Amino acid sequence: MAAPARSRLLELTRLRCDVFSTLYNPLGLRTGAKYLRARLRGPSMVQYYPKQLSFKDLSKSMPQLKLVNFEEEQRLFDVAERKKRGKGAPKKAKSPEESRRLAKKKRK
């Protein structure tokens, strides 16, 4: 008995893909269909890990407690001290003429 023709086998493969709703890929190229068909992992991971509760969220949800974040207060105090000594962040340019980059270009 002779083997079936290649064209008949390809037609059979195409028909099988139509019946079982799979991707017809006669050349066997890598398509990533396996990963695209897979169930998404993100939603289950979000449910698994609890929501992180920050101090800011806690103080906003219960303002009647008047909670004080000492770490934030210390940070603001340190920033103010550095600014007094001239070590703070530079002022933002309000227009392109005030920017340092444009001033450098004009000097050259």
pLDDT tens by residue, 63-98: 999 999 999 999 999 999 999 999 988 888 888 777
Contacts of 99 (CB under 8 A, 6+ apart): 93
| pLDDT tens-digit series, residues 10-45 | 999 999 999 998 889 989 899 888 898 899 999 888
Give yes or no for residue 99 having a pLDDT over 80. Answer: no
- For the stretch 8-30, what's the b/e string if a residue is b when 16 or more beta carbons lie within 10 angstroms of its beta carbon? eeeeeeeeeeeeeeeeeeeeeee
- Cα(58)–Cα(67) distance, rounded to whole angstroms? 9
pTM, to two decimals: 0.44
H helix runs in 5-86, sequence order: 6-20, 33-37, 42-48, 55-61, 70-84
pLDDT for the residue 23: 86
pLDDT for the residue 64: 93
- Cα(52)–Cα(42) distance, rounded to whole angstroms? 17
